[in-house]
């Protein structure tokens, strides 16, 4: 059985990471176009670097850890290794910390930095600013950015995701508001015989495309569904 899982910010909410569109929405105080677009970065790189530095520091806080939903997905992958793919819109590393291996972080990773000139990727746990020298080429000052997909930028892994979705027997969407594309459109790539299940606190604009909608918290409902 080929299983495709898509997760959004809702799966990390109970681990203490704020979602984007909840009351404690991340974007508050910062219009999206100021902090999550290439233009915003060009206009005010310091503001954008600090926005991600704050999120990186928060993610590395000792209190932040995978919750039972992350753990259940990692365990399920171990039991179904050959035909399983986890796609996350999240840029935290909680799936990886829980033990998930087959992960496509389609919107990038908060704990990586990328050189705009060389494309080099680095594991990055410190603050980034506009004067951070490139680790191997110090002459490249201020060329490092968060390895994160901003609005208007191409997400990662789209071909692999689409090809897997077309052949999936089960598609499980967990904790996503289904408003950001192309992630929100993955459900439409699944075949006619695919069982589509949505786990969320409430309805989303895509809920009617699912065969089953399970309403409740991810940390309770995901382990229950996968057991
Ligand atoms: C693209 C990384 C072209 C950054 C993110 C105008 C100009 C350019 C593009 C567009 C445009 N208009 C529209 C677009 C397309 C745009 C888009 O979709 N915009 C939306 C706003 C309309 N998309 C793009 O720009 C994408 N790129 O289009 O490139 C292209 C595309 C294809 C092919 C060729 C070219 C790039 C989008 C990626 C942007 N980057 N993140 C960062 O993180 O800082 S998006 C951001 O939103 C996060 O990744 C986040 O994951 C994502 C979606 O949010 P969710 O994860 O769903 O989180 P949210 O808070 O919204 O919802 C939480 C859900 O959990 C809720 O439903 C809640 O009920 C539930 N929940 C809460 N607690 C729990 C729970 N469920 C269960 N248990 C709980 N405890």
Could you tell me the distance, in angstroms and rounded to a whole number, from the CA of residue 90 to the centre of ligand 1? 9
Same domain, 125 and 203: no
Range of the domain at 133: 23-63+110-148
Q: State which of 180, 185, 217 you would mutate to test the pocket of ligand 1, scoring each by most atoms of that ligand within 8 A of its C-beta.
A: 180
Same domain, 205 and 117: no
Residue having the nearest C-alpha atom to atom 75 of ligand 1? 10
- Give the Cβ contact number of residue 217 at 10 Å: 18
Q: Considering 98, 129, 148, which residue would you say is the last residue of a domain?
A: 148
Q: Specify the pLDDT at position 28.
A: 56
Same domain, 44 and 115: yes
Look at residues 212, 174, 216 and name the one whose alpha carbon lies nearest to residue 195: 212
Residue having the nearest C-alpha atom to atom 40 of ligand 1? 150
How many domains is the chain built from? 2
Q: Considering 119, 148, 177, which residue would you say is the last residue of a domain?
A: 148
Q: How many residues can be counted in the chain?
A: 227
Task: Determine the atom of ligand 1 nearest the C-alpha atom of 14.
Answer: 80
Helix (H, G, I), strand (E, B) or coil at 63: coil
Q: What are the angstrom distances between the C-alpha of 34 and each of 50, 142, 185, 198?
A: 12, 19, 25, 31
* Residues 210, 196 contacting (CB under 8 angstroms): yes
Same domain, 136 and 221: no
Same domain, 136 and 199: no
The verdict on whether 136 is a catalytic residue reads: no
Same domain, 122 and 211: no
Look at residues 190, 147, 192, 141 and name the one whose alpha carbon lies nearest to residue 55: 147
The response to whether 10 counts as a known ligand-binding position is: yes
Find the residues whose C-beta lies inside 6 A of ligand 1: 8-10, 13-14, 19-22, 36, 89-91, 107, 148-155, 175-177, 179-182, 200-202, 204, 217-218
Q: What's this model's pTM, rounded to 2 decimal places?
A: 0.96
Question: The CATH number of the domain where 46 resides is what?
Answer: 3.30.1600.10
Q: State which of 13, 20, 29, 109 you would mutate to test the pocket of ligand 1, scoring each by most atoms of that ligand within 8 A of its C-beta.
A: 20
Name the DSSP class of 113: E
Q: Considering 99, 119, 148, which residue would you say is the last residue of a domain?
A: 148
The response to whether 13 counts as a known ligand-binding position is: yes
Could you tell me the distance, in angstroms and rounded to a whole number, from the CA of residue 177 to the centre of ligand 1? 8
pLDDT in tens, the chain (227 residues): 999 999 999 999 999 998 876 555 556 577 777 889 999 999 999 999 999 999 999 999 999 999 999 999 999 999 997 899 999 999 999 999 999 999 999 999 999 999 999 999 999 999 999 888 899 998 998 899 999 999 999 999 999 999 999 999 999 999 999 999 999 999 999 999 999 999 999 999 999 999 999 999 999 999 999 99
Same domain, 165 and 208: yes
Q: Specify the pLDDT at position 118.
A: 93
């Amino acid at each position: 059985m080929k299983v495709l899982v898509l997760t959004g910010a809702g799966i990390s909410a109970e681990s203490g990471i704020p979602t984007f569109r909840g009351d404690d929405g991340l974007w508050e105080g910062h219009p999206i176009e100021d902090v999550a677009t290439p233009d915003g970065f060009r206009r005010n790189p310091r503001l954008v670097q600090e926005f991600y530095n704050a999120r990186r520091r928060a993610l590395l806080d000792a209190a932040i850890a995978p919750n039972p939903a992350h753990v259940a997905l990692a365990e399920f992958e171990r039991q179904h290794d050959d035909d399983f793919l986890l796609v996350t819109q999240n840029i935290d590393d909680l799936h990886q910390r829980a033990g998930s291996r087959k992960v496509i972080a389609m919107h990038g990773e908060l704990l990586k930095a990328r050189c705009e000139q060389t494309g080099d990727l680095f594991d990055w746990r410190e603050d980034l600013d506009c004067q951070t020298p490139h680790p191997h080429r110090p002459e490249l000052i201020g060329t490092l950015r968060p390895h994160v997909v901003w609005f208007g930028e191409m997400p990662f892994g789209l071909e692999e995701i689409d090809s897997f979705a077309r052949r999936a027997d089960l598609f499980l969407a967990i904790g996503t508001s289904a408003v950001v594309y192309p992630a929100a459109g993955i459900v439409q790539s699944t075949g006619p015989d695919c069982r589509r299940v949505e786990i969320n606190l409430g309805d989303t604009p895509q809920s009617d495309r699912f065969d089953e909608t399970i309403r409740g918290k991810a940390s309770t409902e995901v382990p229950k569904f996968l057991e």
